[in-house]
Amino acid sequence: MDTIEDIFESSLNLEETHFQQGYDEGYADGLISGKEEGREVGLKTGFEVGEELGFYRGCVDVWSSAIRVDPNCISIRIQKTIKQMDDLLHKYPISEPENEAVSDIIDSLRLKFRAICASLNVKLEYSGYPKASDAGNIEF
Amino acid sequence: MNFADEDYELKEVQRLEGHTDRVWGLAWKPAAGVDGVPSVLASCSGDKTVRIWEQSASTGSFQCKAVLEDTHNRTVRSCAWSPSGKLLATASFDATTAIWENVGGDFDCVSTLEGHENEVKSVSWNASGSLLATCGRDKSVWIWEVLPHNEFECVSVLQGHTQDVKMVQWHPSMDILFSCSYDNTIKVWSEDGDNDDWHCVQTLGESNSGHTSTVWALSFNASGDKMVSCSDDLTIKVWGTDIKRMQSGDGNVTWTHLSTLSGYHDRTIFSVHWSRDGIISSGAADDAIRLFVENEDGSVDQPSYKLLLKKEKAHDMDINSVQWSSMENRRLASASDDGTVKIWELGSSLGQKKQSM
């Protein structure tokens, strides 16, 4: 009885066996390509974040040294905002991309940067900065 | 004021021509029109200019006294006088806000505020004239402080709206800012302490009985305890707050929905303005002006409003702005896509009626 059942079992479970084999192969491939893709995205995103943070860091450093040379060259309010940007840049959890504070800090940095530029009447723009408005928005 | 027993009519007093494109916005100069100071109205247009209209003391008619041009290179969408009437702020699709100083009969552009990424849609001065707010298509609201020598410093850039911000308006007595947007909401912004720390304290949206489509404009009543808003959803809504608690510095005072005026409009309502003596005017895409007053006979807790009159064909095209004069109680100005500005007087038609009886 047992041997006869065994003979038929392999053909009865043909579909299931092939499914399992295919699934295992696909899973193994997926692990490899997923990891590769993750690495690509990580490199790209990491570079972008680093580039934007570095841009702000550079601006803050130049403004801060200008203030050290002449404390009256920039108004108290803007000096305060520059200091706030400095603090945010220190606080940014660079090695914790999944930290939820990340998006709040980058939003806050962008707004403060725009406020400072407007008050100083300078036209500085980080080229990678995403525009707030969609191109398709209606115009009136 | 009781509007119940009289019949009213809106009489066209004058039609102001000069703009060569649609007229978007209007602003009556404050502290003018009394004590021998002539009434002055500013209008801004798609023709990139602002026109200053002054009432002649002898004839009583309005004449174009100045054309503010060659500064904005795109549509001027909104204009607002500072409370003293010395400065005029103009918001343009060219991404800038210009500040004009009124020296004698001339207007000089004394400052240009840059910061918005693209179209600036609205500009508003606070009650003391120390702060200026702007908003625009980049979804942001900006607050600027007015410094001596016509310098302006950015106090805060506020982000919260998810779409184009159509209008900013300061509360008439307190430093609380209101903005309304293509995202169907009204947002209330206030400062936390004295720290330039402005943030959104309330969002009036669909879940608070708010609008279900673009909110185009808002306006306050004279005492500042009520606000009216108008929308693409064809309704006008009245909101209320506890003004005494708010003035005592209670930061948690919220605005609540009081009344919805629906069934009166069948096209988008672009403009709404509350007069000092309590008349709400609306300007809409159906070319008509409507006036509403509070129902005095209602015994219900919530105020209700009734249509006082509807002026059909007030303009040949969409009406973009209606503004009551700040001094002459019953004088209204309207601006339209037809390129004209009209001056109206609200009068009683009771006299004629009595004669015929």
User: What value does the mean pLDDT of chain B take?
Assistant: 92
Residue B306 structure tokens: 């009734």
Which pLDDT score is estimated for A136? 44
> Which domain covers residue A112, as residue numbers?
2-120
Nearest CA in chain A to B151: A119
Rg (CA), chain B: 19
User: What is the tens place of the pLDDT at every residue in B1-22?
Assistant: 556 556 899 999 999 999 999 9
What band does A92 get if pLDDT is binned at 50, 70 and 90? very high
Dihedral of the CA atoms A22, A24, A27, A31 (nearest 10)?
-130
Quick one: average pLDDT of B209-213?
96
Residue B299's pLDDT is what?
60
The tens digit of pLDDT for each residue in B41-77 reads 999 999 999 999 999 988 999 999 999 999 999 999 9
CA distance B229 to B231: 7
From CA B144, how far away is CA B151, in angstroms rounded? 10
Rg (CA), chain A: 28
Does A139 map to a domain?
A: no
Distance set, CA B209 to CA A24, A53, B116, B131, B169 (Å)? 54, 42, 31, 31, 21
DSSP A129: P
Alpha-carbon distance B162 to nearest alpha carbon in chain A (angstroms): 9
Q: What is the DSSP track for B102-157?
A: EETTEEEEEEEEE--SS-EEEEEE-TTSSEEEEEETTSEEEEEEEETTTEEEEEEE
- Length of chain A in residues, anyone? 140
pLDDT at A53: 95
**Contact (Cβ atoms closer than 8 angstroms) between residue B148 and residue B180:** no
pLDDT value for A133:
46
Which single residue is written with the structure tokens 């293509």? B182
Query: What are the residues facing B306 on neighbouring strands?
Result: B293
**C-alpha closest to that of B114 among B163, B175, B72:** B72
Domain presence at residue A140? no
Task: Write the DSSP string, B200-228.
Answer: EEEEE-GGGT--SS-EEEEEE-TTSSEEE
Q: Which of A115, A123, A131 sits opposite B157 (nearest CB)?
A: A115
Mean pLDDT of A56-71: 95
Amino acid symbol at B36: G
Q: Which residues of B touch A137 (CB under 8 A)?
A: 137, 163-164
Cα-to-chain-centroid distance, residue B248: 27
The count of domains in chain A is 1
**pLDDT tens readout for residues B88-99:** 999 999 999 999
Q: Let me know if domain B18-159 sits in CATH 2.130.10.10.
A: yes
Q: Which of B117, B182, B196 is closest, CB to CB, to A131?
A: B117
CA distance B279 to B294: 8
- Residue in chain B closest to A117 (alpha carbons) equals B115
Number of inter-chain CB pairs under 8 A, A vs B: 58
pLDDT attached to residue B298: 63
Question: Domain for residue A115, yes or no?
Answer: yes
* Residue A58 scores a pLDDT above 70: yes
Beta-carbon separation of B117 and A137 below 8 A: no
In a domain, A41, yes or no: yes
Please answer whether residues B161 and B139 qualify as being in contact, where contact means their C-beta atoms are separated by less than 8 angstroms: yes
Contact B265, B235 (CB under 8 A): yes
| Per-residue confidence (pLDDT) for residue A4, from 0 to 100 | 57
A137 domain residue, yes or no:
no
Q: How far is A45 from chain B (nearest CA, A)?
A: 24
CB–CB of A133 and B155 under 8 A?
A: no
- B157: nearest CB among A78, A111, A131: A111
Enumerate the residues of chain A whose CB falls inside 8 A of the CB of residue B142: 115, 118
Mutate to test the interface with B, among A76, A105, A117, A119 (most CBs of B within 10 A): A119
Q: In this complex, which of A107, A115, A139 lies closest to B156 when CB atoms are compared?
A: A115
Q: Would the pLDDT of B357 be above 60?
A: no
- Tell me if A135 is assigned to some domain: no
Q: Which residue has the higher pLDDT, A86 or A95?
A: A86
What DSSP letter does each residue of B271-286 carry, written as one string? EEEE-TTS-EEEEETT
Distance from A132 to chain B by nearest Cα, in Å? Answer: 5
pLDDT at B252: 75
Domain for residue A87, yes or no?
yes
| Rounded Cα gap, residues A42 and A46, in angstroms | 6
Distance CA B33, CA B73 (A): 32
Tell me the C-alpha distance between B250 and B262, whole Å.
Answer: 33
Contact residues for A43 (Cβ-Cβ < 8 A; gap 6+): none
A119 to chain B: nearest residue by CA? B153
Q: What is the mean pLDDT of chain A?
A: 85
d(CA B201, CA B176): 10
DSSP code at position B130: S
The mean pLDDT of B269-281, rounded to a whole number, is: 96
A133–B117 CB contact, under 8 Å: yes
Nearest Cα of chain B lies from the Cα of A76 at a distance, in angstroms, of 11
Question: In one letter, which amino acid is B112?
Answer: T
